Amino acid sequence: MIVAIIQARMGSARLPGKTMADVAGHPLLWHVVNRVRRARLVEKIIIATTSNPCDDAIAEFCRQEQIELCRGSEEDVLDRFYRAAASVHADNVVRITADCPLIDPAVVDKIVARFQQADCDYVSNTLRYTYPDGLDTEVFSFAALEQAWRGASKPSEREHVTPYLRSGKFRTANVESDTPVSPNQFRWTVDNLADLQFVRAVYGAMNGNGACGYKEILKLLRRRPELAAIQTEVISNEGYYRTLFRQAKSGAAPKLRLTQSQAWFERSKKVIPGCTQTFSKGHTQYVLGAAPIFLKSGKGCRVRDVDGNEYIDYVQGLLPNILGYAHEEVNAAVAAQLTEGHSFSLPHPLEVQLAERLIRLIPCAEMVRFGKNGSDATSGAVRAARAFTGRDRIACCGYHGWQDWYIGSTTRNLGVPQAVRNLTHPFRYNDLASLEQPFSEYFGEFAAVIMEPMNFVEPEPAFLADVKDLAHKNGALLIFDEICSGFHFGLGGAQKIFGVTPDMACFGKAMGNGFPISCVVGRRDVMKIFEEIFFSFTFAGEVASMAAAMKVLDILERTDALERIEANGRTLQDCVNAMAKEAGLVNRVRAVGRPQWSLLKFSDSSGADSPLMKSLFQQEAVKRGVLILATHNLSAAHDEPAIHQTLEVYGEVFKTLASWADDADPARFLDGPMVQPIFKVR
């Protein structure tokens, strides 16, 4: 028998009594029950509430409506839920919460039907949200529920019913909408008064129609967007993150054993300037003595250092490993190419095939040239722009690599001639006036504007389009540096998301899942200038990396990898912001940017950037097995167990930081030198 258990109580912290609040002449709970009753595949409904006297109102409601009821522990919700299922001899369970008065019976049936395929223990539409938040439905077997009831021991697993079922111990599946939306765009669950007012407004606009499906409601909200504006911003699953924070232990984690790391570090000092090939991978970017210095191996989202310590890796080689380390399909494609050679004396057909594919995917791409690093691509694009326009000056916004034309505009300009430095003019993101100023001062001298279309700040409405217009009015080209945003933000990059097509664009990093490859793509007439400029190097046509790129694009196009990256990134982002709030650090730590690549911003009490807070957070995370710089560089290999482990680590880190934040000298908690910035870009 398939039983829907509706989880209900009156004691909401944010909106007490919401379960029985009036909506269109009936209690909110009545609407939930009425909608679930319309699900064809649900055979019985039972409400699970607490033994607390404040929930007597729910018991009376059940008596009047002739609905079965089970009462139990207020704190141990898993036990209450299990006993409700056992009391009606459920074979399989549908979990619904009473704060979802717009639940759609057709969606419930779709998830139950997927569960009935009998290849999973747990099926939901919440592992990755493609429905509006508030249509949440979970279906699982009684056997799995009983196993969770017996095995779950953490407060977060007892208070929230299903975390144990999603921990990697069971076979799970996600059901997705055929018209996917972002949960941040449409949130229909009732957490606060504004949410209740929103639901009342929807029912009012639908004339109290309790049978309308979610697609009808979406149409209503698109016709009347002022209804959605009633709501205030709330973090999804905030209660779960609060529980993780409450159960977390406080205090510095034990130091890691880093004997071999230190030994390799001492050897590297003698033979490698700076002990690293890449500044951002060097020892100055971590708290020396607390973090590993050398890694030995990686698989998926996890790495091991030379001492054997394991970490969940949110650096992922500085963003290229979009599918994770040592991806079997990518490695097999490379191995197959290696057997036939990979660095040839003449061009290889893979160059053409990959170029054709990129042209299909990227809006601005009409022709393609390949490189190995992001700096190759950005510098090639700048040289092409100068050749095409016959001008020298460049306006830039963001980070664009190591070569003279760009790095000369930063504090890392040692060795760059002043004459070269004078030709590059940085401007501020979302500040058109800061670009207008150099255009006015050096009228007619600019070859191009090169910029990251987005990093961790959304563009203001029309900003990117205005930059393009301004560049073109001044006879300059627009170049989007999508080395980081490309593929992570979608197969067409940020230019596709924001609907602004540049003259050229640069892609790399994720394109090869760690194999070295980059490209310049762009307008045909502009790209033809590459036949005249010198953009040529031995390994530009190396095809093992191209084979990797072809396989990466195969996987990104045919699987839900990008969607999973976004969903897991959103979970981490929401967790950081919820726990910062719970720890009293809401003004000191926050996650910003798109979920696929979000930044943790650390501030001191005055609001200025805080390297100390960043160092303490990073130190305590890495000692607990989470390797992070200051961004969540998500890969498709970051699975549910890894994300859950990270959430628990963050609970301990935030609770520890909360106890240190107001100390007279919080630097005394560092295990080594503070993290040192390379130079400031953003």
Task: Walk me through the domains of the chain, giving residue ranges and CATH numbers.
Answer: 2-234 (3.90.550.10), 259-325+562-669 (3.90.1150.10), 344-541 (3.40.640.10)
pLDDT tens, residue by residue, 137-187: 999 999 999 999 999 999 999 999 999 999 889 999 999 998 888 766 788
Find the Cα–Cα–Cα–Cα dihedral 466, 468, 473, 474, rounded to 10°.
110
Closest CA to 49 of 58, 41, 39, 40: 58
Number of H helices, E strands in the chain: 23, 23
Give the angle 467-456-424 at the CA atoms, nearest 5°.
Answer: 45
**Quick one: how far is CA 136 from the chain centroid?**
20
Tell me the C-alpha distance between 543 and 601, whole Å. Answer: 39
Whose structure tokens read 């009425």? 34
The amino acid present at 633, given as its one-letter code, is N
Burial group, residue 536, by CB count within 10 angstroms (0-12, 13-18, 19+) = exposed
Give the Cβ contact number of residue 596 at 10 Å: 24
- Token pair of 602, please? 């650390």
For residue 492, the 8-state DSSP code is T
Q: What is the 3-state secondary structure (H, E, C) of 390-440?
A: CCCEEEEECCCCCCHHHHCCCCCCCCCCHHHHCCEEECCCCCHHHHHHHHH
pLDDT of 228 reads 78
- Token pair of 368, please? 């393609």
- Token pair of 555, please? 């996987």
The amino acid present at 598, given as its one-letter code, is S
Give the angle 484-489-495 at the CA atoms, nearest 5°.
Answer: 85
Given a contact cutoff of 8 angstroms between Cβ atoms, the answer to whether 278 and 606 are in contact is: no
Is 461 in a helix, a strand, or coil?
coil
Whose structure tokens read 């009036």? 22
For residue 252, the 8-state DSSP code is P
**In which element (H, E) is residue 351 found?**
helix 349-361
Given a contact cutoff of 8 angstroms between Cβ atoms, the answer to whether 522 and 359 are in contact is: no
Tell me the C-alpha distance between 569 and 635, whole Å. Answer: 9
Tell me the C-alpha distance between 279 and 173, whole Å. Answer: 41
Tell me the C-alpha distance between 504 and 16, whole Å. Answer: 55
Per this entry, what is the length of the chain? 682
Give Cβ neighbours of residue 351 (< 8 Å, ≥ 6 apart).
370, 541, 543, 546
Tell me the C-alpha distance between 403 and 398, whole Å. Answer: 14
Tell me the C-alpha distance between 320 and 487, whole Å. Answer: 10
pLDDT of 358 reads 98
Residues of the chain with pLDDT under 50: none
pLDDT tens, residue by residue, 402-421: 999 999 999 999 999 999 99
Q: What is the largest CA-CA distance in the chain?
A: 84
- Token pair of 409, please? 């505009």
**In which element (H, E) is residue 257 found?**
none
Distances (CA, A) of 584 to 431, 590, 617, 656: 32, 12, 15, 12
Is 124 in a helix, a strand, or coil?
strand
Given a contact cutoff of 8 angstroms between Cβ atoms, the answer to whether 96 and 170 are in contact is: no
- DSSP string computed for 68-106: EEEEE-SS-HHHHHHHHHHHTT-SEEEEEETT-TT--HH
Give the Cβ contact number of residue 621 at 10 Å: 24
- DSSP string computed for 572-639: HHHHHHHHHHHTT-TTTEEEES-TTEEEEEEB-TTSSB-HHHHHHHHHHHHHTTEE-SSEEE--TT--
Q: Are strands 122-124 and 172-174 parallel, antiparallel or unpaired?
A: parallel
- Cite the active site residues: 399, 481, 509
pTM: 0.90
